[in-house]
Amino acid sequence: MKNNLKTIIISLLLLILHSIVEAQANYQKEINEQVWKPFIESFSNNNQEGFKAVHSKDVIRVMQDDNTIWGYDQYFPAQKNNTGDWSKYKKSIELRFIQRIAGNDKAFEVGYYNTRTIAPDGKQRSSFGKFHVVLRKENGVWKILVDADSGKEASEEEFKKAAAME
């Protein structure tokens, strides 16, 4: 009788654990589709409206290396096109993750990014940074609520150790 009870308890615990892992995978897939893929595309195409769209109107932007915190209006000033000379540059960003925690309507993710720019004269530059992001589901859609990053803790080696988005 005791062995049957142990087997039932272990089976229930494994079922619960499996459900939790499955839910995490579903949240991450949603976040990838609703936030990170549009984020990457908008960043790479200098699409400020698309970039703004993945952020909450309550966004807090933290530039740790500069000891600066901005709200939505400072992060996205009210102007038509904020790309300036950057529109002449080709750029891309790749994200890799070291921690992803999500619930029904909140998520916390930590990872590294690699931005690459190619100047009109062909000069290329790559830089790495570490990010911490808090996401919130707003009206059924994931949005970036807090976006903090630093280049001081980042390197190509750390970036390569982190897990790819998919």
Beta-carbon neighbour count of residue 129 at 10 Å? 19
Q: Provide the residue type at 74 as one letter.
A: Q
**What pLDDT is recorded for position 82?**
47
Q: Mind listing the pLDDT tens digit for each residue in 73-119?
A: 999 986 555 455 667 889 999 999 999 999 999 999 999 999 999 99
Write out the two tokens for 112: 């590294």
59-83 burial string, b = 16+ CB within 10 Å, else e? bbbbebeeeeeeeeeebbeeeeeee
Q: Mind listing the pLDDT tens digit for each residue in 3-54?
A: 776 666 665 555 555 445 455 568 999 999 999 999 999 999 989 999 999 9
Question: What is this structure's pTM?
Answer: 0.81
CATH of 2-164, one of 3.80.10.10, 3.10.450.50, 3.40.920.10, 1.10.3720.10: 3.10.450.50
**What pLDDT is recorded for position 18?**
45
